[in-house]
Structure 1
Amino acid sequence: MNLVYIDESGNTGLNLKDRQQPVFLLAAIVVHSSKWFSVEKGLRRILEGYFSPELSHSMELHAIDLKLRRKHFEKISFDESLTIRNKMLQMLIDYEIPVIYQRIIKGKFEKFCEANYGPGIKINPYVMAFPFVCLEVNRYLQKKGAEELGMLIFDEQKETFQQVERTLRTLRLDPSSILKTTNLIEKGFFVDSKKACLYN
């Protein structure tokens, strides 16, 4: 079984004109269940090199906080923040954990929506990117072997929850759908990222 963690960056919902966040990114990491405990321990070990065990086990890690050295990272040096980043990226390589993503440039996406659906019609970039990420995860699992299955785990998505569920149902079960997934099981699980180990 493969655990597929999905999270986003630059989510401004239907506001596609936000100059501070012009790009939306939906990404997935695929962790085989046999590697899960090792990956979790490795992440904790990296953080424990800079923080108390209590803090490193409870903190929610955001790359932007690490990059800007804010919140928990405000007392570490720039070089230390790069070291943490590099060690975590090296873990992805060492454990052969793929990162699958779909990027949407919001300004172009807004023009696309207007040209194809008419003025005033807006689609949440999360909803547009999601099926493409699922299809790529499915392709990755199929390449590993027909028996390789994946279970999707999401950070809580209140505004897109129903659309994501509907998309998953269509990809998995709708015989009339052109887009299909065969190796993703169940309906997807939404968790509070503050309480989930690999989201922290």
Structure 2
Amino acid sequence: MWLAYVDESGNTGTNLNDPDQPIHWMAAVLVPEDQILTIRQALDGIVASVSGVDDSAELHGSELFGGEGPWRGITPSERIRVYEEALMLLGDNGCEIAHASVDKRKMYSSNRRDLHPHILAFQFLAEKLQRHVRSQNDPMKQRALIVADESDENNHYQLQLLRSMQDGSGGIGKSIALTNIVDTVHFVESRVNRGVQLVDLVAYALNRCCRIWEKREAGDSVSAGDVTLEEMVEDLITPYIRTWRVTWP
């Protein structure tokens, strides 16, 4: 069975017109159940290798990349090393990635303002997970359990949505039954769960790279740090994305 660790990036709640966060991203890192402890111990070791940072420090994408929170005062090169070594664990441990994204600008300019981008992204991601695990040849990989970062605003709605979709009666618009997603959504505090922290790094990198690409298209300059992040996404994330990638709508 897979554990599907889920987190988001670019969440502005019901504010659909934030120019700094135009896309709501939700990502999942699927970890084979026999690799969960290995990844947790490896991430613990990566954090412990940084002088001046507490061993329990959280790996949070925006803080790690920007040098904030527990990563304040750590050199950019050291923070990039930590980010890169963490992402390398994906390929080293047979992990796979799924993601869904919602363009809030298009929602704002249409008649879809009543829909919450977080709930939409969660449904799209759950459907992608369902299709992916159902297609596996190995019976041991045809089930997934979702473990997600706590979000007080949306926890209840995600639980209700998943349950109704498992029963084949719910979902927004045309949806599919989640017959291969087991149990419910298990919410945990990200600060105590390395799996959720790992997917946070993935979600943040995907979100930021999307904005970097928009900068390039507009002819704006891109920082050296952003170029490095682009390279990490290309080398360490993109090869393991297993689902359809187009932003909705």
Q: Which residue of 1 aligns with 2:81?
A: 83
Cα offsets for 1:2-52 (capped at 9, x unmatched) = 211111111111011122222211111111110001111111111111146
Identity over aligned pairs, percent: 24
3-state SS, counterpart of residue 109 of structure 2: helix
Q: Tell me whether 1:160 sits opposite 2:132 in the alignment.
A: no
Instruction: Give the TM-score of the pair, scaled to structure 1.
Output: 0.87
Aligned alpha-carbon RMSD (Å):
2.0
| Structure 2 residue identity aligned to 1:125 | P
Aligned to 1:171: 165
Of 122, 137, 149, the residue aligned with 2:143 is: 149
Q: More strand per residue: 1 or 2?
A: 1
Task: Pick from 118, 126, 129 the counterpart of residue 118 of structure 2.
Answer: 126
- 1:77-133 Cα shifts (integer Å, max 9, x gaps): 111122111111111111121121111221112224x1xx5xxx4211111111111
State the 4+ residue runs in structure 1 displaced beyond 6 angstroms: none
- 1:138 equivalent in structure 2: 130
Instruction: Name 2:98's counterpart in structure 1.
Output: 100
Q: CA separation of 1:16/1:175 partners in 2, compared to 1, >3 Å: closer, same or farther?
A: closer
Counterpart of 1:40 in 2: which secondary structure? Answer: helix
Q: Specify the code of the residue in structure 2 equivalent to 1:138.
A: Q
What is the number of equivalent residue pairs in this alignment?
A: 192
Normalised by the size of structure 2, how large is the TM-score?
A: 0.71
Unaligned runs of 5+ in 2: 198-249
| Residue equivalent to 2:109 | 111
Counterpart CA distance in 2 for 1:70 and 1:158 is 23
Evaluate the alpha carbon distance shift between residue 176 and residue 90 of structure 1 in structure 2; reply closer, same or farther with a 3 A threshold. closer
Paired residue for 2:181, among 181, 184, 197? 184
Tell me, which stretches of 5 or more residues in structure 1 are unaligned?
none
Q: CA-to-partner distance for each residue in 1:51-75, whole Å, 9 max, x for gaps?
A: 468x22x222211111111122222
SS of the equivalent of 1:137 reads helix
Return the letter of the residue paired with 2:4.
V
